[in-house]
Amino acid sequence: MSNPSLLILPGDGIGPEVMAEVRKIIDWFGAKRDLVFDVSEDLVGGAAYDAHGTPLTDATMARAQAVDAVLLGAVGGPKYDALDFSVKPERGLLRLRKEMDLFANLRPAQCFDALADFSSLKKDIVAGLDIMIVRELTSGVYFGEPRGIFTEGNERVGINTQRYTESEIARVARSAFELARKRGNKVCSMEKANVMESGILWREVVQKIHDDEYPDVELSHMYADAGAMQLTRWPKQFDVIVTDNLFGDLLSDLAAMLTGSLGMLPSASLGLPMANGRPKALYEPVHGSAPDIAGKALANPIACILSFAMALRYSFDLGTEADRLEAAVQKVLADGLRTADLMGPEGGSPVSTGAMGDAVVAALDASLN
């Protein structure tokens, strides 16, 4: 059987810096665990624009469609702010998401014990937290027609339309149930079925997919506003939350910030299964290109490293190795290593991007003893 394939798109700003640390981790898995990936690398965003005049070439798009998983750093930066909208760096990322039809956006909120003091919530509420928000990404009110600003009588009216088909709901529900089976086996579906017809349909379809295909997974339903309240009251009651594009946008930001710094947050966007059974997948840190710290070795590589851990778990079914990598990150933090973004008000001596990556590799080594 051929090796699993990975396309790496480091992008702009701190993207290449954090990706260099992920390369160390990928090399470690090849050398020490006999898990060899066929890795190729290409340009995206401003870097692709500089080289080719477009933020994503057709050739790169074709490579992304052909691999088992794509790992992206970040795109954008002030240098590109004045560019025409059609060639802005972000358009490269949006094209990838659209053409790969990545409809399920996975945003974990995981609290590493060593960073529990970083949360705005009390330590016992967040310590050990590990939840996953699955947000529908390609439909709903951000895409529904009609939309626009129209004139009615003597005033203007702004219109957006919340629209979901049964099949759009069904496929993201399946993604959530599949994920739950690899985690705590619980899904909570959130909508506003009390006031929205799209919410009523959402609830019915999620329930039917559950009853027909995933009766072994525990399913509950919650109104999204109550869900927001419960997320701050006692987030550990949740395992997987599945919700629509708009509510998911809000709830995933809320959940993510329960746990602290932007430099710690990974994400995945998944599509339909390919011929080999693996879902189309793009993994990326939640943060952007951080132009304010780019080139200074200050970036925290953990969000990007944890994005690779998600790839191990969700694209390659290597849950044990994903656990190993997450435990290595946990250990490094517990040992007190911090990049500058993780320094508390009391200060201390931060380590560089490279030193953090090296420490994770050393912790991986230690995990073999």
- Reply yes or no on whether 34 is catalytic: no
- Reply yes or no on whether 214 is catalytic: no
Position among 43, 187, 251, 293 found at the interface with ligand NAD (CB under 6 A): 293
Tokens of residue 177, six digits: 């149930």
DSSP letter for each residue of 304-335: HHHHHHHHHHHTS--HHHHHHHHHHHHHHHHT
Q: What are phi and psi of 283, to 5 degrees?
A: -115, 135
Residue 299 touching ligand NAD (CB under 6 A): yes
- If phi over 0 gives left and psi between -120 and 50 gives alpha, with beta otherwise, what is residue 133? beta
- Reply yes or no on whether 130 is catalytic: no
Residue 266 in contact with residue 310, Cβ under 8 Å? yes
- Reply yes or no on whether 192 is catalytic: yes
Position among 8, 173, 290, 332 found at the interface with ligand NAD (CB under 6 A): 290
The closest of 240, 227, 232 to 199, measured between CA atoms, is 227
65-124 binders of ligand NAD (CB under 6 A): 74-77, 90, 93
State the greatest distance between any 2 C-alpha atoms of the chain, in Å, as a whole number: 75
Tokens of residue 60, six digits: 């790169």
Nearer to ligand NAD, 105 or 189 (CB): 105
Shortest distance in whole angstroms from residue 221 CB to ligand NAD: 31
Residue 287 touching ligand NAD (CB under 6 A): yes
DSSP letter for each residue of 180-236: HHTTTSEEEEEE-TTT-HHHHHHHHHHHHHHHHH-TTSEEEEEEHHHHHHHHHH-GG
Nearer to ligand NAD, 35 or 297 (CB): 297
**Candidate ranges 128-136, 252-260, 291-299, 315-323; the one touching ligand NAD (CB under 6 A):** 291-299
Residue least distant from ligand NAD (Cβ): 288
User: Whole-angstrom Cα distance, residue 272 to residue 172?
Assistant: 10
- Per annotation, catalytic residue among 27, 101, 113, 142: 142
Q: Which residue has the tokens 């929205």?
A: 196
- Count of other CB atoms within 10 angstroms of residue 187: 27
Residues 328, 285, 260, 333, Cα dihedral to 10° = 20
- Per annotation, catalytic residue among 27, 130, 225, 358: 225
Count of residues engaged in binding ligand NAD, rule: CB under 6 A? 22
**Candidate ranges 62-70, 156-164, 284-292, 314-322; the one touching ligand NAD (CB under 6 A):** 284-292
Shortest distance in whole angstroms from residue 47 CB to ligand NAD: 12
- Per annotation, catalytic residue among 49, 80, 164, 192: 192
- Reply yes or no on whether 58 is catalytic: no
Residue 354 touching ligand NAD (CB under 6 A): no
Give every CB contact of residue 364 below 8 A, 6+ residues apart in sequence.
25, 28, 32, 324, 325, 328
**Candidate ranges 57-65, 123-131, 215-223, 290-298; the one touching ligand NAD (CB under 6 A):** 290-298
**Candidate ranges 154-162, 184-192, 299-307, 319-327; the one touching ligand NAD (CB under 6 A):** 299-307
Q: Which H or E run includes 300?
A: none
**Candidate ranges 60-68, 142-150, 185-193, 285-293; the one touching ligand NAD (CB under 6 A):** 285-293
User: Whole-angstrom Cα distance, residue 159 to residue 305?
Assistant: 40
Nearer to ligand NAD, 203 or 287 (CB): 287
- The catalytic residues are 142, 192, 225, 249, 253
List contacts with ligand NAD (CB under 6 A): 14, 18, 74-77, 90, 93, 262-263, 284, 287-293, 299-300, 303, 341
